[in-house]
Amino acid sequence: MRSSKLLFVFLSCFIFTINLNSQEGPSVVSEIEKMTNIKAGLCTILNCSDAKLPLAVAAGGKFLVHGITNTIQDAATIRKGVGDSQTAGMISIEYLPVEKLPYNNRSIDLIIVESDLLGLIKKGLSAKEVLRVLIPKGKTCFGFKASHKKEIESWLSTSKVSNYKYVKGNREWLVITKKRNKDLDDWGHSQHGPDGNPVSRDKVLKAPNLLQWIVGPTRKYGRGDSGPLVAGPKGVVSADGRNYYLQGRHIIARNAFNGTLLWYKSIVKISKSQIVAVGENLFVCLAGKLIAINGLTGETKTVYAESISCSKLLVEDQNLVVVGRSGIKNFDIKNGKESWSFNKRLGSVYMQAGKLYGMLSRSELVCLSLNNGKENWKVDVSSLVGEKATLKFISQEMLVFLQKQNKSARVVVLKGADGSKAWEAKSNRGNPLIFEASNSLWIESSHQQKGMKGVKSLLVGYDIKTGKEKLRHVGPENVKYRCHGVYATDRFFIANRPLYFMDWKTGKSHAFEGTRAQCGIAYCLAQGMFYGLYTTPTKCMCVSTVIAGITAFSSNDTMNGEVAISKKDQLRIGKASLPVIKKKEDAKDVWPIYRNDPRRMASSGSSVSTKLKIEWKTKIKSSIDSKTLLSQDWKISRPSGDQISPPTIGGGMLFASLPHEHQVIALHIASGKVAWRIHTPARVTAPPSYYQGLCLYACHDGRVYCVRSDNGELLWSFRAAPDERRMMAYGQIESSWPIAGGVLLVNGIAYVVAGRLTETDGGLYISALDPKTGKLLWTKKRGRVDDKPFGGYQPRRMQTYVGPVDMLCSDGKIIGMAGSHRGRFNCKTGDFISHYNNSIPFGYNVSRFRTDQYGLRTVPVTFLRKSFIGIDWKTKSVRRYGKNGWQISLPSKDKVESMVAITDNIKEEVVNNWRPSVRVSSIKNAPVIDGKIDPIFQKEGTPLIYSYLNGRKNKPQEATTAWILSDDKNLYLAFRCFKKDPNKIVCTKTKRDDAIWKDEAVEFFLDPTNSRKKSYYHFIINAAGVIQDVYKGDKKWNCEMTVKTGKESDAWTIEVKIPFKSLNITPGNVKKLWSVNFNRSARDTNDAKKYEDTAWSPTGTDSSHLPDMFGYMWLNAGKGGDDTAAYKKWFAGLPVKPKVVATVESNVENLLLIAVAKDSGDMNKGGELLIHSLSDGKILGRCILPISPAYDGLAVAGGRVYITLRDTSVVCLSKE
């Protein structure tokens, strides 16, 4: 009570402070509150014209406010007005269309139009759309002119709106109330209801595919000051549109439809059976004190008993039943008084239809009247149900008992009227699942399906009154794996790991892998939604796709929440012009993107002194109050919950964001003074990226913004999200497809990924943009492609990226999710690259931008070329892994927040679009095709030397050389495949178009049109001369060609003749420029599974089928004759082959910078920058920091060290 009073006093002062700034807004809000009685939740303001009303609504600290303006300029102006207030993070202002409101179904508590409702109606706003987005019992307050009442009546009539009223205040108001759908159901007890049957009667709930809302925690651990919400849930109940979570030593109340935090209350430890929600009341027994809490406010309404023994609470109608060690007590909910007691201890107590049932002993069953507590009947059931049988639940006044019998079980049903036996059934499972759902009693048995491995579940449905079998279905996979309760609805049986929704009527299953059941407590089914509780993640190999957190999932009629990509208003052009870049900046003077380079190595070549001092410190103005109610969700958001992002550096500026305040800022690195500040529509969690005088930042409104780095003026913004849709995420309003991990810049192209999860909302959308213009180069989607599961080691999981979003990484040739060896794309085309064993590592393993079960691994990690530095959790020390490793022990309270390597041993290849090319000579005398390399190949041809297909730099163990010649009718090829032991060649295939690729073979691709598309001719020939030829994927196509093979002492050889006419080329029309590639797969009979793939033009992956990575072939015999001048002109226009260059100077001292917090629970205790030797880990220097560093907040550029601190300060360290 004391904490509640303090919070009330605080909020009262807080409201007064805000109201000083604006008197008009609060008067309107007061009027709206009286009309609606809605005091918390998610509020939308349409036609938002200034900052007064949003500030007034948010001032109480209970509302998230989303304002939609009429113009882009209005939105920017209002954001500035809101930006310096203490409620900045609670308010989002955007310009968005109103004809389709940008929200999920059933997500908004209150919609306000201060004036001109008719104007919005004329723009396309429909009453049907308003009702779609309102939560049950949600309301509108629409201001309008009295003269418009007739048009508004017609508008309401068109959508058949009946539940509304007009209110006269300081203006005319239209208040619409959305009725609660009778098909929605609550989950008020730990097992749904007082009858114990764990089945929801919700008819709206379907197999989920949309993320309705999400909050933390997303991992087991957090900083000591992370607040009351950091603990994972241990139980949840739901009633009347509110969810109540038991988290650690708190009860957390949230809006069930949008997840907004309503209140939290400190408690002693209680179990999930000691909390019940019914209507607006939450009944709970706290340390023996039985109370009713107002579900809307968290205030105590009624105290029923100051001290009482309680192991379980049950509620039916006006009866509040307490099951304790000494018996049963019943309280009248209305008057708060005890109505009766039963002074004998009961077990397995359940209630239904005015009766209470329980076991007096293992054999004696009693039935009491809820009206007076008197016995209706008492029977010995030992002869009916057997020894040690358990009362599982009651349904339709029938009592269901389970008797376990070694590896089988009996299910016995008794009549609730007198305790007599109705019927029984057997199961061949020792502990079968039992439900009453869809008017049947379902009993699980084991089932061995013919032709299938493993044992499945067989679910048999019986008439609960008579025991007559009605239906039977073979259940989904993996039902037997469960460490928690398994629940159902009247429509679906829900199996687990992954989650399967099996229709009771048809037996068909839909797999959902967006979350998994939480150990011990499973999930919750209520309010038309599936509530996920997976917040204590471990490395789950069964379901690697899940998104961690307290979640709510809804559904639409598509397989994975698919949405059409809207092109409307996708690219917005600003007024700024491109800056003029006079001089290219040295790599050691910038830190242009998050963690410095596309691989996210967190390494720099800038020389740093071991003796540093603070050159300047700038405290960036921060207005928000981190103690307000809604801000508690911000502290446990991804990637860190910090109020400031890591820094980036370029163009003489330092860039960072204040995520929760919706701001991007730039400081002059010379002085630390603020150069400019931008107020954004939503969070910007990753730091901005710098590119040639431009600053690009990714916002959680689903857009990428590009501004000038010198003044912050807008050049363009691009919506990477497929459409405009908003939801509540981590205590703020965001797009359903936010952009995580910032903007990745590679070879002059900007890459972003929008979305949260491959399994919902259509998946993840990856886009490539021109950073100077915002022009879309390509976009690709990664999402669920079918309705089949792939848990464990099944193909989809191995071939593609699945799971939560993470930041993008790149090696310059391909891009992909951090830490994933799958789900990679070609940088230039966006073509998907499936290669499970990729030898090109990305720098960062898994980041905190990913909200999944790998959260425990998201610690600061610095990658080197052949090793990495990370945290050893067993010893709580910094450790260098790999060759010449070492370990650094730190004080127990020190927490590593960031690490950067200063090193000269990281060499990277400068990557561009260079591909190899060959000029093919035109010959008059054709070579002899007999398997022996004709001398004319070596005399007239250019040798093509192979290297590793995937781009590895070392030389292949089995070398290969190829030559190619032509005349006006034929193409001639020769291959010499060196072999250490020619007697160990794998050559087993003998039929044409067999799987020749499994043998030792040469492979070549010919595209006579240089289309760079998959319309090429594909040939594979093994050492025996057996051919596999394919054209445009058609394996039935056969080429007219001559092939001969031979053997040398240390090699095997092939000669090939291909007439142009067999490639559909008429004589005289052979084009000069082709795209081609020549490959080889070397295999050894000692281990045929091991092979070595090499190529003339490496693709950088394990896949050969990448036409964009093919080399060029110029045919002198092509149309136009031997045109040397044309060839020289073409060749001069090709990109120059890149050289391997060192990204750092050779005289750089190898150092490791470690930023630590001295006490993770109190940022004011400061931090420290430690400087260690990278070679042996010895301490070389240190610098005291006034405040704890932010997560990953280190950057190095131009010999200086820059650190963002958790109080929104930035410090610059330089040589003493």
Asked if 87 and 66 count as a contact pair (C-beta separation under 8 A), the reply is no
Q: Calculate mean pLDDT across residues 236-261.
A: 96
Q: Is the pLDDT score of 858 beyond 50?
A: no
Determine the average pLDDT of the residues in 38-48. 96
In this structure, of 736-750, 1107-1121, 1186-1200, the range with the lowest mean pLDDT score is 1107-1121
Nearest Cα to Cα of residue 437 among 390, 497, 486, 367? 486
Output the pLDDT for position 521: 85
The average pLDDT across 532-543 equals 65
pLDDT at 131 over 90: yes
pLDDT at 963 over 80: yes
- Inter-helix orientation angle 2-19/24-36, to 10°: 130
The pLDDT score that the predictor gives to residue 852 is 38
Confidence of residue 795 (pLDDT cuts 50, 70, 90): very low
| Residues 1033/954, Cβ–Cβ less than 8 Å | no
Q: Contact at 8 Å (CB) between 113 and 152? A: no
Q: What is the mean pLDDT of residues 840-859?
A: 48
2-176: CATH topology is Rossmann fold (3.40.50)
The answer to whether residues 1061 and 1106 touch, using CB atoms and an 8 Å cutoff, is no
What local confidence, expressed as pLDDT, does residue 846 receive?
A: 56
Q: What is the pLDDT of residues 310-365, one digit of tens each?
A: 999 999 999 999 999 999 999 999 999 999 999 999 999 999 999 999 999 989 99
Which phi and psi angles does 621 have, rounded to 5°? Answer: -60, 125
Better-scored residue on pLDDT, 803 or 1179 = 1179
In this model, does residue 1210 exceed pLDDT 60?
yes
For the chain, what is the mean pLDDT? 86
* Amino acid letter, residue 1057: K
Is the per-residue pLDDT at 857 higher than 80? no
Indicate the SS3 state at residue 130: helix
pLDDT > 60? residue 539: no
pLDDT in the model for residue 23: 46
Region 131-147 average pLDDT: 96
Which CATH code for domain 199-554?
A: 2.130.10.10
How large is the average pLDDT for residues 93-115? Answer: 95
Task: Tell me the pLDDT band of 911, cut-offs 50, 70 and 90.
Answer: very low
Average pLDDT (199-215) is 95
Letter for the amino acid at 1061? K
- Better pLDDT: 591 or 827: 591
Dmax over Cα atoms in the chain, in whole Å? Answer: 113
* Residue type (1 letter), 981: D
Contact (Cβ atoms closer than 8 angstroms) between residue 752 and residue 614: no
Least confident range from 412-426, 832-846, 1164-1178: namely 832-846
Does the pLDDT of residue 384 top 60, yes or no? yes
The yes-or-no verdict on residue 973 having pLDDT over 80 is yes
Domain boundaries, the chain: 2-176, 199-554, 571-577+586-908+1145-1215, 917-1134
Residue of higher predicted confidence among 1143 and 241: 241
Q: What is the pLDDT of residue 738?
A: 97
pLDDT at position 845 over 60 = no
In the predicted structure, residue 175 carries a pLDDT above the cut 90: yes
- Residues present in the chain in total: 1216
Residue 1146: per-residue pLDDT? 41
For residue 478, what pLDDT is reported? 54
Rg of the chain over all Cα atoms, to the nearest angstrom: 35
Contact 1054, 974 (CB under 8 A): yes
pLDDT of residue 21: 36
Q: Report the percent of the chain where pLDDT is more than 70.
A: 87
pLDDT at 790 over 70: no
Instruction: Please give the CATH number for the structural domain made up of 917-1134.
Output: 2.60.40.1190
Percent of the chain with pLDDT over 90: 60
pLDDT computed for residue 1141 by the predictor:
40
Q: Residue 800's pLDDT is what?
A: 66
β-partners of residue 1043 are: 1056
> 90 to each of 55, 631, 730, 1141, how far by Cα in Å?
9, 8, 11, 49
Task: Look at residue 210 in the predicted model and tell me its pLDDT.
Answer: 96
634-662 pLDDT per residue, tens: 888 877 788 999 999 999 999 999 999 99
| Model confidence at 1145: pLDDT above 50 | no
Nearest to 358 by CA among 393, 382, 331: 393
DSSP code per residue over 833-870: E--SS-SS--S-SS-TTS-STTGGG-S--EE-SS-EEE
Given a cut of 70, is residue 1018 above it in pLDDT?
A: yes
User: For residue 834, is pLDDT > 60?
Assistant: no
Query: Using CA atoms, how far apart are residues 625 and 1181, in angstroms rounded to an integer?
Result: 36
**pLDDT for position 728:** 97
Q: Encode 497-516: b = buried (16+ Cβ within 10 Å), e = exposed.
A: bbbbbbebeeeebbbbbbbb
Greater model confidence, 807 or 691: 691
Q: Answer with the residue of higher pLDDT: 857 or 482.
A: 482
For residue 707, pLDDT beyond 50: yes
Would 199-554 and 917-1134 be classified into the same CATH topology?
no
Q: What is the pLDDT of residue 450?
A: 57
pLDDT band at 499 (very low <50, low <70, confident <90, very high): confident
Model pLDDT, residue 484:
81
Q: How far apart are CA 546 and CA 512, in angstroms?
A: 10
Number of neighbouring beta carbons within 10 Å of residue 858: 26
Is the per-residue pLDDT at 154 higher than 50? yes
CATH level 3 topology of 571-577+586-908+1145-1215: Methylamine Dehydrogenase; Chain H (2.130.10)
What is the four-CA torsion angle of 302, 304, 309, 315, rounded to 10 degrees?
A: -80
- Residue 227 confidence class, pLDDT cut points 50, 70, 90: low
